Structure 1
């Protein structure tokens, strides 16, 4: 069983079957938690799983596997008053879930682009281009997101097609520009400070970053690359909590 299948099996038993005993089968005794929703260690995860309501379910959209890291993108239902779009990132070690990060945001029914926050291509393709695409997105993050050099934006993002899933932005560079101008008027300029992880499989590349968006936030950006340019974008932007139920930090 590869790491992608392992994470899918473990997540299915933990959050699909809501089986607390799955912790014993799939979770490392040294499980390290970064989520704001649970304390550290396997027993805290067991308590979380045991507390899930009967109508809880997870609707998966896509999975990205990169070495010992596996990222899930999907929607949680029954985890609160409204469905939550989520990125979950797991580190696998010795056949067990060893570490976990996540970011969640409410589902928005009416988006500017009329795309949902999770629709679009679901399976990584162009697997032989993984490292090229990783390098492209990492350089884009360094120069444009962190470096704020928007003069080189079209070196990385396609001018022909840029499908947008951020609920407040329209398609294309014009749609992104209009949204960025609106956010700036609201005092929410996009400021990326540090990119913590780049997770890539084929044409899909996920960035986990921290910065500011009117307040300290975690940025999770998923990009799809085609023909050497970014052509699609999904994201979750979530505030950095003032405190966490563990000492591991959000990142």
Structure 2
């Protein structure tokens, strides 16, 4: 029943049937709160957060979902009643963008990053990356545990530049001689389920991948977003020969990378896509 109510709300919005002043109080909410509420509504069925989306301009970059509000509504219809679980673990804002780190149970347990673009207080565009939940890591970390407190907001730009340089130098260009300059010795917490903590854990993982003939390649950084000590990069490349989207979240401490989470998703082939907006 909750999902039916939410779907009905979507239909009303798509038909432009809401009075302009019906959700006037929504403007008192932050962009971060709006994005979080929208994600949580997938589980709760609360129809109000749907009004945070611009019904006349909603561009969808999840390639498995049709464009616009109609696509969002169609996705909800596919979910078995009461099956969806949504736990937003982290939420950040970088000017007109909000990005979240979320634990899902939608057609099975998944970990995801979502990015929402706002214009005039409304969500107008959405990107995401999803991966089947796995782990724990060799050191016992899950894909979503760890630090959540945002600090050093005054250092946002500096931290974004540091992380961007790391992804360019190490992950894209393979300049491994610069690796140690980005870390405080071996003090580095890793949440990738296949990699241990520290530079030593990273080295072992890369060696194992090389022996197995698995190549991970970053070709292009599309987006760098941050709030304080947290920075998210969105990159395009390949993993094991398949076109891949890499979403990497870093926590910076004292000018060094201290913690890392990621979600890796194979990019759907053109004939499998339900919209033509592109992954990035």
Bin of the TM-score, shorter chain as denominator length: over 0.9
Determine the C-alpha separation between the residues in 2 that align with 1:110 and 1:131: 32
**How far has the Cα of 1:128 moved from its partner?**
1.4
Determine the C-alpha separation between the residues in 2 that align with 1:161 and 1:21: 44
Q: Residue in 1 aligned with 2:257?
A: 230
Superposition pairs of residues 47-66 of structure 1, within 5 angstroms: 47-53=74-80, 54-66=82-94
**How far has the Cα of 1:109 moved from its partner?**
4.0
Q: Is the 8 A contact 2:64 2:275 kept in 1?
A: no
Determine the C-alpha separation between the residues in 1 that align with 2:128 and 2:231: 16
Unaligned runs of 5+ in 2: 1-28
Q: Is the 8 A contact 1:180 1:190 kept in 2?
A: no
Q: Residue in 2 aligned with 1:239?
A: 266
Unaligned runs of 5+ in 1: none
Q: Is the 8 A contact 1:18 1:49 kept in 2?
A: no
**How far has the Cα of 1:224 moved from its partner?**
0.4
Alignment of 1:137 onto 2:163: yes
Bigger share in helix: 2
Alignment of 1:26 onto 2:55: no
- Structure 1 segments of 4 or more deviating over 4 A? 19-22
**How far has the Cα of 1:225 moved from its partner?**
0.4
Q: Residue in 1 aligned with 2:192?
A: 166
Alignment of 1:115 onto 2:141: yes
Bigger Rg, structure 1 or 2: 2
| TM-score (ref. length: structure 2) | 0.84
| Residues paired across the two proteins, number | 247
Superposition pairs of residues 154-233 of structure 1, within 5 angstroms: 154-214=180-240, 215-233=242-260
Bigger share in strand: 1
1:123 match: secondary structure: coil
